[in-house]
Every structure is written in structure tokens, then in C-alpha cells.
Amino acid sequence: INVTETQKERELKRERRKQSNRESARRSRLRKQAETEELANKVQALASDNMNLKSEINKLMENSAKLELENAALM
């Protein structure tokens, strides 16, 4: 009887450990998915910022060129 109970206890512990590992893996997958989504959002925001900055650079360069022409005309 003792041997059978010990085997049952081992099996029960093994099953608990397997279930715990499954839950841990599930949490890891969810955490990784959330991190991936967050990074995708950051990429989108940075791409938008990049486009805005490029547009600003173009405007400033055009303005600079106009000012250079005006300056040259004054000389």
C-alpha cells in the first residue's frame, strides 16, 4: 500500500509540475506577444516622427535657399 501511495504522490506531483510549466509557458507567450505589439507601436510612432522631421527639413532647406537668393541679391 505504501509503494502505491508513493507512486500516486509522485504522479500527482509530476502532473502539478507539468500544469505549472504549461501555465508558465502560456504566460511567457502572452508576455512576448505584448512586447511584440508594443515594439510594433513604437516602430509606427517613430516612422511617423521620421516623416514629420523629413518634411520639416525640406521646408527649412527651401527657406534657406530662398534666404540665400535674397542675400545674394542684396550684395
Structural domain of residue 58, as residue ranges?
A: 1-74
The reply to whether the predicted model has a pTM over 0.95 is no
pLDDT in tens, the chain (75 residues): 577 889 999 999 999 999 999 999 999 999 999 999 999 999 999 999 999 999 999 999 999 999 999 999 998
Tell me how far apart the alpha carbons of residues 59 and 65 are, in angstroms, rounded to a whole number.
10
For residues 49 and 1, what is the distance between their CA atoms, to the nearest angstrom? 72
Please tell me the predicted confidence (pLDDT) of residue 12.
Answer: 96
Q: Total domain count for the chain?
A: 1
pLDDT score for 1: 58
pLDDT given for residue 10 in this prediction: 94
